[in-house]
Chain A
C-alpha cells in the first residue's frame, strides 16, 4: 500500500482527514445536534420567563461600553476568578481549555465543509499540539476541582463544616471529564490506523493521543475502526448532552454569570439607591420577593455556590446565622418557587380570560426565607461583594430587607430603636446633647464656619470624633496636625449633625435622609467645597450618598490629607514608633473606597516603624464588627468579631493596631481588653500616631503625660 494511500498527506503536507471514519454520519449528527439545541433553547426560554416573572424595574443596560469592559475583564479574562489561586487555576484550565477546544472544533468543521487552504503542514502540526495541550488542561482542571470538592472539602463549598455537594456538581465534572477522555480515545484509535496503516509520521505532535495509541498495539484495524465509530458517537453524545444540560444545571452559570458581569452596577462601590418619594410611596424596602428589582433577583441565578463570599464574611465566621452564599441560594430557591407559581397562575388566567390569581407565598421573604437574626448579623463589610466572582450584590438586598423591618413594621432591636431616637433628638447615636458637639475644639482655638467661613477645608468631625472620648483624642490630634501644617480649616460645631450612615445601613432611610438633608443645608449654606472626615462612615456617606440630595463636595479622608502633607514635606515625623505595628483596614476605607496604601505609607514614614500585615488584609481584610449599624446592637450570637480580629493582630505579633476609623478604634480597644492584652498592646488612630511622631506637643504637657 502506498504510504500516502490516496489521502494526499505526507511529510511537508502534514494533515489529517476531518470526520475520518465518520463521513456519512453528518446528517444524523445534525439531527441530534438540532435536538440538543432545542432542549437547550427550551431551557433558556423557560428560565427567561422566570427571570421576567417578577421584580421591579431597574435600568442595567445603559453605558454599554463600561458593561462590555466588565464582561471582558470579569468574564473572558476571569479577572475576579483568578483572585483565588487554586480555584482560579482550575477554573481557568477548564474555561480556557474549553474555549480553545470549541474554537478548534469550529476550525475542524469549517475544514470539513469548505476546506481551509492552510489546514495542513506546520499549521496543522501546531494546531494539533495546541489542541492536545488544552485538552489536557481541561482534564487537569477537572482533576483539581474533584480533589478540592471531594477530598479536600474546604468549608466554603459547604455550610458550617457540612459539605454541600449536589448530584449536579458531580454530573457536570464527570461530563466534562468524559468529553475530554473520549476525545483522546477517538484520537488514539484514529492514530492507530493513520500511523500504522496510512503511515502518518508526524502525529507525535498530537502527543497525548499518540501515546495513548501505543497501548492499542496488536489491536486489529477492523476492531479499531469499529471502536472508533462507537467512541465517536459516544463523544458526540456527551458533547450534545453537555449543551442540552446547560439550562438545567449549574452549567447555567456559563450564561448567567457573564450576563451578571454585563449587568453590573456602575455606581460607586456600596452606594445605596435612595428611597425617593416618602410622601406617596405605598411601601418601603423589600418585604416580598417582588419588591426586589429584577436584577436583584437575577443575581441569585448567577451564583455558582463558589462560597468565596462566605469564606471571609465576619458574620459567618463568627458563628452568626448569616452566610451570604446561603442567603443568595435561599433567595434563589424562593424565586424558583414563586416564579413557577406566578407563571402558572398567569397561564391559567390567560386560558380563562380573567385576572391571574397569584397565590400568597408559602413563606415570607423577610423572617422566614431570610431569618431575622441572619438579616441583622450583616456588618455591611462588603467582603462578599468585593470578592464575588459573579458580581452579585448582597448588601443592597440586606439593607432593602432591613428597610422593610424598620420603616414598614418598626420591628427591630430595642437597642437600635434607642440609637435612632437619639439620632432624631440629638443627631448622634448616644443622645448626648447636640450643643456639646463643638466642645472638644474650644480649647484648641478652632473656629467654626459660623465664626469664619473663609477656609479651605471643612473638617467634618462626625459623632465619634465630637463626642466619644477616644474619638475626641483623634480629632484633637488631627486638628493639631492641620494647625502645625498651616492648613486652613474650620468645623461646624453645634451646627454639625450625624452623617446618618448607621441609620441608612440599619434600614432607617427616612432618618438617614433627614440627617443628610440637615447637614447638606448647613454645608451648602456656607458654600463648602472641600471636606475632610476622620470617620470612614461619614467619609463614604458624604462622598457617595450625599450627592443624591444635592450635596456635592470634594471629600477626603484624613489619611489622604496626612499622606499628602507628608509627601509635600509640610509635616515631619521624628519620634519613632516602638514595637511592631499592624494596620487594620476599615471596610469603609478599603473595600468601599480603595484606600489601602495611604495609611500604610503614612505608617512607613514614621521612623522606626516595623509594619506587619495581619492574616486578612487589603481586599480580604476582616471587619471589626461595627459596620452596618452593628456598632449599636448587642452581639449575642457566636464569637465577638472584634475579638477575632484582635486575635489576628496578636498572631501577627503587633504591639500597635493602627486604624483610620473611630469605630474600629473602639472595637480594637475592646478586643485588646477582652484578650487581656492592655499591658502589651494598644490601638491608635493614624492621626494620633502621626501627631505623636511629629513631637510638637509642648514640653510641659509631655512631661505631665509621663508623670501621670
Chain B
C-alpha cells in the first residue's frame, strides 16, 4: 500500500507566543517546534496500515528549513521517506497554496491513501486536507476517529453532535485525523537513529513547477488583550473591606 501522511510543524502548545510588532506574524525565537498533534494521529494511522498491508509511508511537509526536523520525527516513528517542500514564497502561505504545493508533490506518488491532521493547532484553518482532496480529485472523510480498510473499501467514523457517523468510501481517498483515532507511538532509539539516514527530497516551488498566488492573506495579527491584574482590597476590618468592595463593584466594574 502506498501511503502518504502530510505533516506541519507548529509551535508547542505551551510555547510563549509573541506577535511581531508589525503584526505580520509571530516571533519565532525561543519557540519549541513540534509536529502538529493531529498530524501525528495521521502518521500513526499510516504506519498501522503499512504494518497491516505492507507498503510504504511517505511524509510530506510544507515549511521552512526547520520543518525537516518534524519530517525526521515522523521518519523516526517508522515512515520510509520524506518530501520537504521548502520555499520562502510558501512560508505562511494560505491553505489553498499549501494544498496546491502538497498536491503537486503527492500526485506523482499515486498514493492509495493520504492522511492529514483535521487542522493545525497554529492557525486553526482546518482547510488543507479538504482542499488537497479536491485538487487531487479524491473522496475524503474529515475529522475521523475510527478507520477500517478492507480490500479497497474504507469505513471511516467521525463524531458529530451527540452521535457517530460512519462513511464508506473506497481507495484511493483522503482522511483527516482527529483525536481518538489512535495513540501515536513513541519513537524507538534505533528508529531515531535510522531516521537520520532516511531519504528526504527537498523541493522548492520552481522544482514543483508552481507559483504561489495567495487567495487569502494575513492582514494583521494582534495578541489577545492582556488580562488586567486582580485588585487587592485593603482595609482595617472586614466591614471596611466590604464597603470598599461594594464601592468598586458599583463605580468601577459597574455591575451593581
Q: Is B108 an interface residue (CB 8 A)?
A: no
* Top 7 A-B pairs, shortest CB-CB distance: A433-B14, A407-B189, A410-B188, A435-B16, A410-B186, A417-B186, A425-B12
Give chain A interface residues in 424-446, CB to chain B under 8 Å. Answer: 425-426, 431-435
Q: Inside 8 A of B30's CB, which chain A residues have their CB?
A: 435
Q: How many residues of A contact B (CB 8 A)?
A: 22
Q: Inside 8 A of A435's CB, which chain B residues have their CB?
A: 15-16, 30
B187 to chain A minimum Cβ distance, whole angstroms, is 6
In the bound complex, do residue A433 and residue B16 qualify as a contact, i.e. CB atoms below 8 Å apart?
A: yes
CB closest chain-A residue, reference B77: A410
Alpha-carbon distance A317/B185, docked complex (angstroms): 33
CB closest chain-A residue, reference B73: A424
Q: Inside 8 A of B243's CB, which chain A residues have their CB?
A: none
**Chain A contact residues: over half helix, strand or loop, or mixed?**
helix
A341 to chain B minimum Cβ distance, whole angstroms, is 28
Segment among B148-156, B190-198, B205-213 that sits at the interface with chain A: B190-198
A409-B12 contact given A425-B32, A435-B30, CB 8 Å threshold: no
**Chain B contact residues: over half helix, strand or loop, or mixed?**
loop
Give the number of residue pairs across the A-B interface with Cβ within 8 Å: 44
B27 to chain A minimum Cβ distance, whole angstroms, is 12
In the bound complex, do residue A425 and residue B183 qualify as a contact, i.e. CB atoms below 8 Å apart?
A: no
CB closest chain-B residue, reference A282: B190
Q: Is A284 an interface residue (CB 8 A)?
A: yes
Q: Is A278 an interface residue (CB 8 A)?
A: yes
In the bound complex, do residue A425 and residue B190 qualify as a contact, i.e. CB atoms below 8 Å apart?
A: no
Q: Inside 8 A of A57's CB, which chain B residues have their CB?
A: none
Q: Inside 8 A of B14's CB, which chain A residues have their CB?
A: 425-426, 431-434
In the bound complex, do residue B12 and residue A279 qualify as a contact, i.e. CB atoms below 8 Å apart?
A: no
CB closest chain-B residue, reference A414: B183
Alpha-carbon distance A409/B190, docked complex (angstroms): 9
- CB-CB contacts of B4-26 with A at 8 A, as 1s and 0s? 00000000101110000000000
Q: Inside 8 A of A425's CB, which chain B residues have their CB?
A: 12, 14, 32, 34
Q: Which of B14, B16, B34 has the most CB of A within 10 A?
A: B14
In the bound complex, do residue A410 and residue B12 qualify as a contact, i.e. CB atoms below 8 Å apart?
A: no
Q: How many residues of B contact A (CB 8 A)?
A: 17
In the bound complex, do residue B32 and residue A409 qualify as a contact, i.e. CB atoms below 8 Å apart?
A: no
Q: Which of B183, B187, B189, B190 has the most CB of A within 10 A?
A: B189
In the bound complex, do residue A433 and residue B188 qualify as a contact, i.e. CB atoms below 8 Å apart?
A: no
Chosen A-B contacts, 21 in total, with CB atoms closer than 8 Å, are A279-B193, A283-B190, A284-B190, A407-B188, A407-B189, A409-B188, A410-B188, A410-B191, A414-B183, A420-B186, A421-B186, A426-B12, A426-B14, A431-B14, A433-B14, A433-B15, A434-B14, A434-B32, A435-B16, A435-B30, A510-B189
Give chain B interface residues in 180-239, CB to chain A under 8 Å. Answer: 183, 185-193
Q: Inside 8 A of A284's CB, which chain B residues have their CB?
A: 189-190
B188 to chain A minimum Cβ distance, whole angstroms, is 4
Alpha-carbon distance A435/B192, docked complex (angstroms): 27
Q: Is A408 an interface residue (CB 8 A)?
A: yes
Could you say which of B16, B32, B193 contacts A278, with CB atoms under 8 Å apart? Answer: B193
In the bound complex, do residue A408 and residue B190 qualify as a contact, i.e. CB atoms below 8 Å apart?
A: yes
Q: Is A205 an interface residue (CB 8 A)?
A: no
A510-B34 contact given A410-B185, A410-B186, A433-B14, CB 8 Å threshold: no
Q: Inside 8 A of A417's CB, which chain B residues have their CB?
A: 186
Q: Is A412 an interface residue (CB 8 A)?
A: yes
B19 to chain A minimum Cβ distance, whole angstroms, is 15
Alpha-carbon distance A284/B186, docked complex (angstroms): 16
Q: Inside 8 A of B16's CB, which chain A residues have their CB?
A: 433, 435
- CB-CB contacts of B89-120 with A at 8 A, as 1s and 0s? 00000000000000000000000000000000
Q: Which of B183, B187, B188 has the most CB of A within 10 A?
A: B188
A408-B188 contact given A425-B12, A432-B14, A433-B15, CB 8 Å threshold: yes
Alpha-carbon distance A406/B192, docked complex (angstroms): 12
In the bound complex, do residue B189 and residue A408 qualify as a contact, i.e. CB atoms below 8 Å apart?
A: yes
Q: Inside 8 A of B188's CB, which chain A residues have their CB?
A: 407-410
Q: Inside 8 A of B189's CB, which chain A residues have their CB?
A: 278, 284, 407-408, 510
B142 to chain A minimum Cβ distance, whole angstroms, is 26
In the bound complex, do residue A510 and residue B186 qualify as a contact, i.e. CB atoms below 8 Å apart?
A: no
Alpha-carbon distance A414/B185, docked complex (angstroms): 9
Q: Inside 8 A of A414's CB, which chain B residues have their CB?
A: 183
Q: Inside 8 A of B193's CB, which chain A residues have their CB?
A: 278-279
Q: Inside 8 A of A409's CB, which chain B residues have their CB?
A: 188
A510-B190 contact given A410-B185, A433-B14, A434-B32, CB 8 Å threshold: no
CB closest chain-A residue, reference B15: A433
A492 to chain B minimum Cβ distance, whole angstroms, is 15
Alpha-carbon distance A425/B34, docked complex (angstroms): 8
CB closest chain-B residue, reference A432: B14
Alpha-carbon distance A456/B171, docked complex (angstroms): 67
CB closest chain-B residue, reference A418: B186
